[in-house]
Structure 1
Amino acid sequence: MRAAAKASSVAKVGHLLHRRLSSHKPPPPSLSKTLTHSSSSSSSGAASLRRFSSDGISDLRDGVLLLTEKTSSIHTDGEREKLRATVSALADELLTVPDHQEIAGVLDSCSADALFRRSPNGFASIELLSHLKSRPLLALEVFNWRRKQLDAEFPMVSEEYAKAIALAGRAKNVDLAADLFSEAGAVGLLETSLYNALMTAYMYNGLTKKAISIFEDLKGDHRCTPTIVTYNILLSIYGRSMLVDHMEAVLRTIDESKLSRNLTTYNTVIAAYVTAWMWDQMESTFHAMEEGPINPDVNTLLLMLRGYAHSCNLEKMERTYELVKEQVNDRQVPLIRAMICAYCKSSHPERVQKIGALMKFMPEDEYRPWLNVLLIRVYAQEGLVEAMERFISEAFCRNTMVTTSGVMRSIISSYFQCNAVDRLAGFVKQAEYAGWRICRSLYHCKMVMYGKQNRLKEMHEVLDEMENCRYFPTKKTFVIMYKAYSTIGRKLEAQTVIGMMWKLGLGYPGDALPS
C-alpha cells in the first residue's frame, strides 16, 4: 500500500511538472513529434538536427552500452571518469536541441536509460543536470523524462530533486520548485539539501520572506539539520537585502554551533559588506580570513577589488588588481568599469593613462551612459579637447543627456583654456538640440572669447541666443561687454554699457570682474 501511495504521489506531481513545463512556452505542433518524424518532415527541421544523425547517435549509444555492460555499480576512479565523459558527450548532444524540441527520442536513441540505471546513486543523472544548467528548461525536460523511467529498481535520489528544484528557480518557476519539493517529501526523500535548494530558488527570484520561511520549516523538521550550506544561503539572503544586523546574527549562530565557516561563508559576508559600502568591516573580514585556516581565492580578491574601487582606495585597488589582472581583463567588465570610475573621481596624476589602459578591455557593446559622462568630464578637466569631443560625439549619437551643471562647466573651461570659441559655439548648438543642461555660463564664455578676438558682432548675437533660451542679461553679462569694449579702446560703447547698467539698477562695473 505504501509503495502504491508513493507511486500515486509521484504520478500526480509528475503531471504538474509536465503541465508547468508545457505551459511555460507551448511548443509548436511540428516540434512535439519524435525526432524520427521531425527529421522527415522538412529540410529546415533536418538542418537544425544535423548533429543527431544516425552515426552520431550510434557512436554515443555504443559508448553508453560499453559503460553499462557490467552488472555491478561503478566504483573505480577510472570508471567514473569514463562515465563523466559519456555524460558530457550526451549533454553536448542535448544542448544542440532547439528550444521546445522533443528530447525523449534523443535520450532513448542514446540509451540514456541504461546509462542512468548503471550509475551509482543517481550519479549520471545528477552530472547530466549539472551540465545542462545553462538551459534550465531543457534540463527540466530531461529530469521529467528521467522520472518517467521510475520503477522499484531505479529509484530517484534526493540530490536529483535538489538539482531540479534549483533548475526550476533558475527558470523563474518557483511554483514548480515548490511542487518538486513537496513531491520529494511525499516519497520520503526530504533532506536538508532540498530545503537548501528551495531557499536558493526563492532567493534568486527575490522572494526573501518565502526563503526565510523555508529556513524556519527546516529548523522545525526533526529529520533534518541546517548545515553550513544552509547558513551560507541565509547569509546571502540577508546580504543581498543589506540587512547587515541579521547577517551578523547568523554569523554568531554559526560560530556558536559546531559548524565551521568555509570559503563561501567568508566570500558571502565580504560581498554583503561591499554591497552595504561598509569598507572597514569588509577589510576586517578579509584579514580574519587571512589569519585563519581558510585561504582567500580568486573570487575573494575580485570582491576586495570591487570594494576598493567603489571606495576609491586607489593604492589597494591597484595592488589587488595586479594579483587578478588576467581574470579581470578577460571577462570582468563590471570590475573594469568600477576601476575606471574610481580613477575618474580621483586626482591621480596618471589617471588618463590608467583609464586609457583599462578602456582597451571594454567591449563596444558594454556602453554605459553614466561612464561616458564621467569620461567627458575627466578629459575636459585635463584639457584634452579632442578626446573630450570624441566622447561628447558618442553621447550625442547614443542620445545620452548631460544634466549636471558641473560637467557642463568642465566642458566650458576646457574650450576656454585653448581659446576654441568656434568649437564651443558648435557644441552649444548641439547641446541645445540634444536637450543637455544649458547654463548661462555657456553663453558668457562665448561672449568673453568673442570679445578677446574682437568679434563684437558675434558677441552681440550671443545676447539673442540667450534670450531665445530665456536667459536675460545679468550684471555679469554687461561687465563682459564693458571689458570687451574697454580693452580695444572703444570708450563710447563702453560708456553706453555703463548707462544701461545704471538704468537697470545693476550698479557700476568697476567692482565686478568677468569669469
Structure 2
Amino acid sequence: MLTSPSSLRFSDFISSFSQFTDHKCLRFSPKSSDARTTTRITCGAIPLRRKLAERESADRENRVLVRSLMSRISDREPLVKTLDKYVKVVFRWMQKQRWYIPDNGVYSKLISVMGKKGQTRMAMWLFSEMKNSGCRPDASVYNALITAHLHTRDKAKALEKARGYFDKMKGMERCQPNVVTYNIMLRAFAQSGKVDQVNALFKDLDISAVSPDVYTFNGVMDAYGKKGMIKEMESVLTRMRSNECKPDIITFNLLIDSYGKKQEFEKMEQTFKSLMRSKEKPTLPTFNSMIINYGKARLREKAELVFKKMTEMNYTPSYITYECMIMMYGYCGSVSRAREIFEEVAESESVLKASTLNAMLDVYCLNGLHMEADKLFHNASDFRVRPDASTYKFLYKAYTKADMKEQVQTLMKKMEKDGIVPNKRFFMEALETFGSKLPGSDSGNRKSNGSRRPQKDITKDLVEKTENS
C-alpha cells in the first residue's frame, strides 16, 4: 500500500496492486464429521476474521479496478492517458483506503498533474472535492490551480483567471501569496509581453513580506529583455546583485539573448565571458541564441566560430542548433550551405522534424527562391517528413506576398487533402496578408524586398524554442 499520501505517484499506485494480487490470504476450510459438518478456523480470532474478510474484499475490488484500467491501455491509449482519463476512479479508490487522509499535498500534486495535461476541468473538480472533504486550501494548492489554468490555450482568459486567484489569495490570511506565487505570475505575464502587469507585480512584491529569489529576478528581466528594454533589464540585474542573489544559467542565457536581439554584441560577448568564468556552464540554448542573433546581423564568421567552440567543448548539437545554423546561412545569403546542412540532418535523422523543413523553406523564401521552396514542399516525403499546420500557414503567407496565385490554390487543395484544418489564427493572418496586397495598402505600395525580409512566424518559433530548450 501507499504509505505516504503526500508522496503519491502513479507508479506507486500501480505497484500497490501487484502487492495485493501476489498476497496469499488465509482461508477457511470445512471438515466433515460423522454426525455433522463443522467449519474449522485454521487461525485467528473473530476480529482477525473480519480483517481478513475486509482485506479479501479490498483485494477483489482492487483487482477489478486494475483489470478495468489495464484493459484500456494500448498503443492508442497509453498508461498516462488512461490514468488521466480515469483519474476520478483512481481518486475515489484513494478515498476508500484506510491510510487516506485529506491532505493539501495530495490535492496540489493531483491538480498540478491535471493542469500539465491540459485537464483544467478535472483540476477544478479536484479543488472542489478538496473543499468538500473538509480540507482548507493553502498557498500551494492555489499555486497549483493557477498553474493549471495557465496551461490552457486561451492565454488571455488564463491570465484573467490566474489574476483572480492571486487577488483572492491576498484576501485570505492562510493563503497569502508566497514567492512561488509571484514567480508563476511574473513568468506568465512576461511570456505574454504584459510589461505593465510585470511592473505592477514587482512593485507589489516590494511592499509585501515576500523576499524575491533568483527566479523572481529572472522573470522580470525576461519580460524587459523580450521587449528590448535593456536599461530596465540591467537595472533589475543590479538590484539582483545588491540582494546577494547570484545569477544562474537562466540569467546568463536571457541576458545573452536580449543583448543579441538588440545587436549589442559587445555586451553579449562580455556576458558570455562572465558565464565562462562563473560556476555555471553554458547550455545549448546559450550557443543557439548567439548563432541565430549573429545570423540576423549577417555576421557569418562569428556565428560559425560559436558553433566551432560549442563542438570543441564537446556539446552535441540538437536539431534546434541545426535549424539555427540553417537560418543563419539563410540570413547571410548562403542558400547552398543551408541546403547542405538540411540534407545532412535529413540523412542523420530517421524522421525529420517539420520545423527543420520549415526552416529550409524559410531560407528559400528569404532569398526570393519561392519556386525552390514549392519544389521542396511537394518533395517533402523524399526526406521522410510530413508538413504540419505551421508549414501551410508559412507558405500561404509567403506565396501571397509573392503574388503566386497558382501556388496558393494548389497549397489550399493539398491542405484539404492532407486533413489540415486551418484555425482562426490562420484565417486572420491570411486575411491580413491578403489585405496587404490590395491596391492602396501601405505594404502593397512599398517596393518588394523579399530577398532579405524575414518571415516572422518561423523565426519567432525558432527563437522561442531556443529559449525554452
Write the distance in 1 (CA, Å) between the matches of 2:107 and 2:284: 30
Aligned: 1:86 with 2:12: yes
Residue matched to 1:367: 358
Residue matched to 1:328: 318
Indicate how the Cα distance of structure 1 residues 112 and 167 shifts in structure 2: closer, same or farther if over 3 A, else same.
farther
Which runs of 5 or more structure 2 residues have no equivalent in the other structure?
16-68, 70-77, 380-394, 409-469
Q: Which of residues 117, 120, 126 is equivalent to 1:145?
A: 126
**Equivalences for residues 29-40 of structure 1 within 5 A:** none
Cα distance, 1:321 vs. partner? 5.3
Cα distance, 1:164 vs. partner? 1.9
Residue matched to 1:67: 2
Specify the structure having the higher radius of gyration (Cα).
1
Letter of the structure 1 residue corresponding to residue 307 of structure 2: E
Letter of the structure 2 residue corresponding to residue 85 of structure 1: S
**Equivalences for residues 250-289 of structure 1 within 5 A:** 250-289=236-275
The answer on whether the counterparts of 2:193 and 2:223 sit within 8 Å (CA) in structure 1 is no
The answer on whether the counterparts of 1:304 and 1:320 sit within 8 Å (CA) in structure 2 is no
Indicate the percent of aligned positions where both proteins have the same amino acid: 15
**What secondary structure is seen at the aligned counterpart in 2 of 1:150?**
helix
Write the distance in 2 (CA, Å) between the matches of 1:143 and 1:88: 25
What does the per-residue CA deviation read over 1:473-502, in whole Å, with 9 as the maximum and x for residues that have no partner? xxxxxxxxxxxxxxxxxxxxxxxxxxxxxx
Cα distance, 1:234 vs. partner? 0.5
Indicate how the Cα distance of structure 1 residues 263 and 290 shifts in structure 2: closer, same or farther if over 3 A, else same.
same
Residue matched to 1:215: 202
Residue matched to 2:137: 156
The answer on whether the counterparts of 2:190 and 2:223 sit within 8 Å (CA) in structure 1 is yes
Q: TM-score when scaled to structure 1?
A: 0.51
Write the distance in 1 (CA, Å) between the matches of 2:96 and 2:277: 48
The answer on whether the counterparts of 2:150 and 2:162 sit within 8 Å (CA) in structure 1 is yes
Write the distance in 1 (CA, Å) between the matches of 2:220 and 2:122: 29
**Equivalences for residues 43-62 of structure 1 within 5 A:** none
Write the distance in 2 (CA, Å) between the matches of 1:306 and 1:274: 9
**What secondary structure is seen at the aligned counterpart in 2 of 1:67?**
coil
Aligned: 1:177 with 2:177: no
Write the distance in 1 (CA, Å) between the matches of 2:366 and 2:251: 35
Residue matched to 1:109: 93
Letter of the structure 1 residue corresponding to residue 192 of structure 2: N
Write the distance in 1 (CA, Å) between the matches of 2:99 and 2:367: 57
Write the distance in 1 (CA, Å) between the matches of 2:322 and 2:344: 10
The answer on whether the counterparts of 1:308 and 1:316 sit within 8 Å (CA) in structure 2 is no
Residue matched to 2:215: 229
Write the distance in 1 (CA, Å) between the matches of 2:364 and 2:377: 7
Write the distance in 2 (CA, Å) between the matches of 1:255 and 1:226: 12
Cα distance, 1:306 vs. partner? 3.4
Residue matched to 2:399: 401
Cα distance, 1:236 vs. partner? 0.9
Cα distance, 1:253 vs. partner? 0.8
Indicate how the Cα distance of structure 1 residues 363 and 295 shifts in structure 2: closer, same or farther if over 3 A, else same.
closer
Indicate how the Cα distance of structure 1 residues 348 and 103 shifts in structure 2: closer, same or farther if over 3 A, else same.
closer
The answer on whether the counterparts of 1:161 and 1:180 sit within 8 Å (CA) in structure 2 is yes
Cα distance, 1:205 vs. partner? 3.2
Indicate how the Cα distance of structure 1 residues 403 and 224 shifts in structure 2: closer, same or farther if over 3 A, else same.
closer
Cα distance, 1:373 vs. partner? 2.6
Indicate how the Cα distance of structure 1 residues 211 and 167 shifts in structure 2: closer, same or farther if over 3 A, else same.
farther
Residue matched to 1:196: 183
Aligned: 1:316 with 2:305: yes
Letter of the structure 1 residue corresponding to residue 365 of structure 2: V
The answer on whether the counterparts of 2:114 and 2:148 sit within 8 Å (CA) in structure 1 is no
Instruction: Work out which structure has the larger RCO, using CA pairs closer than 8 Å and 6 or more positions apart in sequence.
Output: 2
Cα distance, 1:247 vs. partner? 0.2
Letter of the structure 2 residue corresponding to residue 316 of structure 1: L
Write the distance in 2 (CA, Å) between the matches of 1:325 and 1:135: 32
Residue matched to 1:342: 328
Cα distance, 1:351 vs. partner? 6.1
- After superposition, the CA RMSD in angstroms is 4.2
**What secondary structure is seen at the aligned counterpart in 1 of 2:399?**
coil
Letter of the structure 1 residue corresponding to residue 318 of structure 2: V
Q: TM-score when scaled to structure 2?
A: 0.55
